[in-house]
DNA sequence: CTGGATCCAAGTTGATACTG
DNA sequence: CAGTATCAACTTGGATCCAG
């Protein structure tokens, strides 16, 4: 799923911490539960995801809602500010896609310098 | 000088490592020497600046040129790829300027939550 | 289910001293 | 001038276990 965003951390552009960019994209289409977020973000532990979510909340990019009811359930959704971030993110993705090959070539060339 | 870029590391958007974004902006108007770069980047040590420059060079964003002559002199300049990064960087800066107040407000609000 | 607590490995940044 | 070497501090991400 996150191939188009940052295939191998190759692009020099990053949004927040390691998971912030992916979290924002996960929330793009509407609110998601804590456990829903853990599915696409394969490998993220609860603690780290909590940390990222708290940071995003502190910056006013997402809103955390504890839903009433018998079952414990917490929803996260983008605030208008968070949603506005999608624009520069799209610009960053476009740049990454356009210059993907050049980035790869540069890495290859510099690794060849070291070996030969 | 770097107030417009990232006044207090408040924006969630980052380019490369801590100094990469500033280095790129320093090279925007043409080649600069190692020691010239150290002026605006107050506080950066030679080792750290070297590390950032090497990383940018490896990614093909800047080119390093050792100038011939009696005095030791090394120039750094943006490659076309590095220059192309100025576009998404401008988009990021624009976003940061437009939403500066909201970011500040969010931080204030969350710090108030903690104190009272 | 949604985290908090604790511990830990790894990476990042920097201070300081030194070199061709 | 343009770095390199070494060491120390801090930050990050994660594993594991525990709790309301």
Per-residue pLDDT, A8: 64
Confirm or reject contact between A104 and chain B (CB < 8 A).
no
Token pair for A16 = 């927040």
Establish how many alpha carbons lie within 13 A of residue A62's alpha carbon, considering only the half-sphere containing its beta carbon.
30
**Contact by Cβ (8 Å): B12, A15:** yes
Residue in the structure block whose two tokens are 């940052």? A6
pTM for the predicted model, two decimal places: 0.91
Nearest to residue A62, comparing CAs of A17, A27, A105, A109? A27
Nucleotides, chain C, CB distance < 7 Å: 1-6, 12-17, 20
Per-residue 3-state assignment (H helix, E strand, C coil) for B20-81: HHHHHHHCCCCCEEHHHHHCCCCCCCHHHHHHHHHHHHHCCCEEEEECCCCCCCEEEEECHH
Per-residue pLDDT, B4: 47
Per-residue pLDDT, A4: 47
Q: Are B60 and A87 an interchain contact pair (Cβ–Cβ within 8 Å)?
A: no
Inform me whether the pLDDT recorded for B10 exceeds 90: no
Q: Tens digit of pLDDT for each residue in A63-95?
A: 999 998 889 999 999 999 999 999 999 999 999
The CB density around residue B32, as the number of other CB atoms within 10 Å, is: 21
Token pair for A2 = 């996150």
Q: How far apart are CA B14 and CA B3, in angstroms?
A: 14
Backbone angles phi, psi at A28, to 5 degrees: -55, -40
Q: How far apart are CA B96 and CA B98, in angstroms?
A: 6
For residue A75, give the DSSP letter: E
Query: What whole-number percentage of chain B has pLDDT above 70?
Result: 91
Confirm or reject contact between A109 and chain B (CB < 8 A).
yes
Domain residue limits, chain A: 8-115
Chain B stretch 30-69, residues whose beta carbon is closer than 8 A to a beta carbon of chain A: 57-61
The verdict on domain B8-115 having CATH code 3.30.1460.30 is: no
Q: Tens digit of pLDDT for each residue in B70-95?
A: 899 999 999 999 999 999 999 999 99
Q: Could you tell me which chain B residue has the CA closest to the CA of A91? A: B88
Residue in the structure block whose two tokens are 């060849």? A112
Token pair for B86 = 């100025």
Q: How far is CA B66 from the centre of its chain?
A: 22
Q: Are B20 and A14 an interchain contact pair (Cβ–Cβ within 8 Å)?
A: no
């Amino acid at each position: 799923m996150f191939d188009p965003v940052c295939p191998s951390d190759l692009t020099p552009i990053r949004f927040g911490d390691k998971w912030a960019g992916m979290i924002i994209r996960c929330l793009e289409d509407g609110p998601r539960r804590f456990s829903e977020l853990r599915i696409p973000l394969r490998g993220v532990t609860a603690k780290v995801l909590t940390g990222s979510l708290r940071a995003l909340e502190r910056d006013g990019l997402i809103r955390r809602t504890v839903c009433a009811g018998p079952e414990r359930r917490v929803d996260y959704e983008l605030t208008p500010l968070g949603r506005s971030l999608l624009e520069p993110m799209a610009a960053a993705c476009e740049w990454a896609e356009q210059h993907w090959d050049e980035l790869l070539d540069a890495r290859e060339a510099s690794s060849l310098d070291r070996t030969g």
